[in-house]
């Protein structure tokens, strides 16, 4: 009678509670996995951007080096002055380029840490 219905209701309620807890655990797990995937995708995208940038920089350096050699060849009477001027320009440009590259790569690492990283809450994935 009424006691059997009540027992069935209690059993169903316990099963539903168990299923809800299981679903909550799976949801939390999925949230963690999706966050890790997002961080890894961001890191991979930044690494690919850096590889492309590095390729462009190397290509530009080769082209500039060839242009410099051609100009040097045609500067017959002023080669020493041209070489000294080029060396002086490089002493200023190389540190500036290194600073820009460090700053760009530094921005990359700070974006990988996640929203709570400034407070030490999140850890970057390797």
Task: Judge whether residue 9 has pLDDT over 80.
Answer: yes
User: Which tens digit of pLDDT belongs to each residue from 81-100?
Assistant: 888 898 998 888 888 888 88
pLDDT 10s digits, 58-85:
899 899 889 988 888 888 888 888 888 9
pLDDT of 121 reads: 43
Q: Record the pTM.
A: 0.54
Q: What is the DSSP string of 9-76?
A: HHHHHHHHHHHHHHHHHHHHHHHHHHHHHHHHHHHHHHHHHHHHHHHHHHHHHHHHHHHHHHHHHH-G
Give the model's pLDDT for residue 107: 57
d(C-alpha 64, C-alpha 68), whole Å: 6
pLDDT at 115 over 60: no
């Amino acid at each position: 009678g009424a006691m059997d219905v009540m027992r069935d209701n209690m059993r169903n309620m316990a099963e539903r509670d168990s299923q809800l807890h299981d679903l909550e655990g799976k949801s939390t797990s999925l949230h963690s996995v999706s966050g890790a995937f997002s961080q890894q995708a961001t890191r991979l995208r930044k690494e690919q951007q850096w590889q492309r940038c590095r390729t462009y920089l190397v290509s530009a350096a080769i082209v500039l080096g060839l242009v410099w050699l051609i100009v040097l060849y045609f500067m017959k009477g002023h080669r020493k002055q041209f070489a000294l001027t080029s060396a002086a320009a490089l002493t200023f440009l190389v540190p500036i380029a290194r600073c820009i590259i460090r700053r760009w790569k530094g921005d990359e690492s700070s974006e990988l840490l996640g929203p709570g990283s400034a407070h030490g809450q999140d850890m970057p994935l390797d």
